[in-house]
Structure 1
Amino acid sequence: MMIKTLLFGAGASAKAFMSNCAEEREFVGIVDNDKNKDGQVLDGVVICGPEKLTEFTYDEIVITTQWASEVKTQLIDSLGIAPEKICIPPKSKLKKQTPPFYNEVTRAFGRKIICELSAIAIERNVPLVLDFGTLLGVIRERDIIAWDDDIDMSVPEGFFDLTIDVIERFISQDNSGVSWQVEKTLDKSGRGMGIVLLFVDPENSLSDFKTTFSIREFKEGKSIHLPSLGMWFSPEEHFRHAETINWYGNSIQIPAKAKDYLAFLYGDDWHTPKKNITFSDYANTQAVEFSEFLDAGLHVDKDTQ
């Protein structure tokens, strides 16, 4: 029997979840806090605001947004939904089913990106460090995690333009044959919040993935991850200074006291591989209201190389 499912969150994760679970679930609707999406259709399913939630008949509400904890609280406290009706799926269900780095050619290409970007950053004194799952893989397994789906890097605020320069230098000397696109995430005042590096492989031998560069702001003893407006954060000591390690014969930069940082981010069992991590599994996150994202006016500028 198909599970009647109402999704909360109308982004790429919802699209992936519907594709991954089409054989077991019937999708009756999608709820999203963004009023601009009201009335739109995603893969044949209508999007509406949370005020219309009571109009649906469903077995489960599945949260398909990175603000899983905040949405769960909203559903229970503001909308009166029983906790047993709410499901936070593993992140693997919110992505394409075959992660890119299971493809060994793609994994090798990811290593090349990390090593070459790191070399340029070190040469130019830019403290560009590995972060999140990429850091976890390099520290725990000495490699990119096979089931990861992107490369994560971070740099302190004040190095946004210099990081753009590093990326442009990397692109100019790349001989892989792919075409590149740089996306800059800015707030409404034009402040740089993050950068995404994408590629298109004309030979179709590489699986798609992105390389993200998150800007981190130091505030009240914390290192604030600006693309999430601080939902992810850490003690600032980890990003005030970068440490350098040898990886595949190359120097790369990582946060100071990287193992302590990983414990803060993922919990004391960070060294235990977990394929099915959910957004609620992070050891330390801060609540950020969706209205704060709307007020920040985050937008993307694209530049194809």
Structure 2
Amino acid sequence: MIPIDFKGKRLVLFGAGRVARLMFSRFPELNVVAFADNDSAKHGTFVGKVPVVQPEALRHLEYDLVVISTGWWESITAQLQALGVAPSRIVLPPKNMLAINNGEKPFSHAPTKALALEVLGCVADFSARHAIPIMLDFGTLLGAVRDGDLIPWDDDIDFSLNDHAYPLFVNHLADLKVALPKPAGCDLDMTVLEAEDLITGVAVTYRNAVGCNAIVPFEIGFMRRVIENGQSVTKGAGPSFIAPEVHFHNVGSITFLGKQFCTPDDALGYLSYVYGDWKTPRQDVTLAEYPMQESEYLETSRTLV
């Protein structure tokens, strides 16, 4: 499902990288007239039949909206405004458009939610068995604290681990893959993300097997958090999510789904930092609504386990 504001509009996707290309392929109903990108090596190439142009070409291009399809939304917004693009024509897509499920809501689909709850239980048991402090994070933590459940409109499951715990977690990835449920009709992939010789995250993906339609695809992310300059910073290819380091000096806990899960310390204070009024449910949030910092782009390799 695409936002109503995008329907019938001529769109420029700013960013011609992996995320933008996936969004373009997943939402063929989008009327994309061009990709704009700062990488000169991409200028003059095509995504399907859509050209990739330099940002300066926007001065002469006919379009209605520029959709920022990368995480560097703040600097790109400033760049677009310097090119004369009106703020009203610069938009960010809802976060769920960037997920693997084509904007569908996996946890509003009963069979998918049942699988996701089983996954959560397996991770809790794995965490306890190997003494690895795997913390609930972001929307998964919010749902556990506020609703005692997964949020129906969330699109993934979020975990994080502090830097010192990550090597032990990586050493047991094969054990985790064995422990995770593997229902009939579904494929499971585990991918290790690495940049500059540092494993920055692990993504577990559930998809439908060929010829099956059992679930709405979804991902489980295990982010690496590093303390830098008084902040807990997620590591990865894109801009970093940040939070005060005080929430990650120690690990809290919560009982969720009848299991014990680790959390950031002072989970309520952490949620207030990330979401502000976290007690009021909100849908269709964008990355601009999260506390983030733009960092240097790191080329990321992806290795299947």
Do the structures match in fold with TM over 0.5? yes
1:270 partnered with 2:278: yes
Task: Give the counterpart letter for 1:232 in structure 2.
Answer: F
Please name the residue that 1:287 is paired with.
Answer: 294
Matches within 5 A, 1:133-144: 133-144=139-150
Aligned to 1:176: 182
What's the CA shift for 1:87? 2.1
Q: 2 CA distance for matches of 1:90 and 1:21?
A: 16
Task: Supply the distance in 2 between the matched residues of 1:110 and 1:266 (Cα, whole angstroms).
Answer: 23
Q: Which amino acid counterpart does residue 85 of structure 2 have in structure 1? A: I
Alignment match, 1:198: 205
Letter in 1 for 2:279: H
User: Separation in 1 of the partners of 2:98 and 2:239?
Assistant: 22
Q: Which residue of 2 is the match for residue 64 of structure 1?
A: 69
What secondary structure sits across from 1:232 in the alignment? Answer: strand
Cα displacement string for residues 227-276 of structure 1 (whole angstroms, at most 9, x for unaligned residues): 25663111112122222221121111111111111111112x11111111
RMSD, aligned α-carbons: 2.5
Is 54-63 or 5-14 further displaced after alignment? 5-14
Residue of structure 1 aligned with 2:119, choices 88, 113, 116: 113
Q: Deviations over 1:191-245 (max 9, x none)?
A: 1111111234445422211111110111222111112566311111212222222
Once the two structures are TM-superposed, the CA of residue 63 in structure 1 deviates from its matched residue by 1.7
CA distance in 1 between counterparts of 2:61 and 2:165 reads 48
- Cross-structure match for 1:217: 226
Cα distance in structure 2, aligned partners of 1:242 and 1:59: 47
CA pair 71-278 structure 1, distance change in 2 beyond 3 A: same
User: Secondary structure at the residue paired with 1:109?
Assistant: helix
Q: Aligned equivalents of 2:275 and 2:21: distance in 1?
A: 24
What does residue 88 of structure 1 align with? 92
Counterpart selection for 1:164 from 153, 170, 176 = 170
Q: Is the 8 A contact 1:157 1:217 kept in 2?
A: yes
Give the whole-Å Cα distance in 2 for the aligned partners of 1:232 and 1:213: 13
Q: Deviations over 1:70-109 (max 9, x none)?
A: 21112113x2322222222333444513221111111121
Paired position in structure 1 for 2:302 = 300
Matched residues in 1 for 2:120 and 2:285: separation?
A: 24
Query: Percent identity between the aligned chains?
Result: 28
C-alpha distance in 1, partners of 2:173/2:25?
A: 34
Aligned length: 292
Secondary structure, aligned partner of 1:143: coil
Separation of aligned partners in 2, 1:211 and 1:175: 13
1:260 is aligned to 269
Q: d(CA) in 1 for partners of 2:239 and 2:88?
A: 29
Q: How far apart are 1:123 and its partner, in Å?
A: 2.5
Matched, 1:243 2:252: yes
Are 1:16 and 2:30 counterparts? Answer: no
Indicate the larger mover: 256-265 or 156-165: 156-165
Cα gap change, 1:247/1:69 in structure 2, threshold over 3 Å: closer, same or farther?
same
What TM-score, normalized by structure 1, do the two folds share? 0.86
SS at match of 2:280: coil
Other structure's SS at 1:214 match? strand
Distance 2:244 2:131 in 1: 22
CA contact (8 A) 1:120 1:166 kept: no
SS of residue matched to 1:185: strand
Q: Which runs of 5+ in 1 are unaligned?
A: none
> For the residues of structure 1 that align with 2:188 and 2:170, how far apart are their CA atoms?
13
Q: Which residue of 1 aligns with 2:3?
A: none
Letter in 2 for 1:199: Y
CA distance in 1, matches of 2:273, 2:181: 38
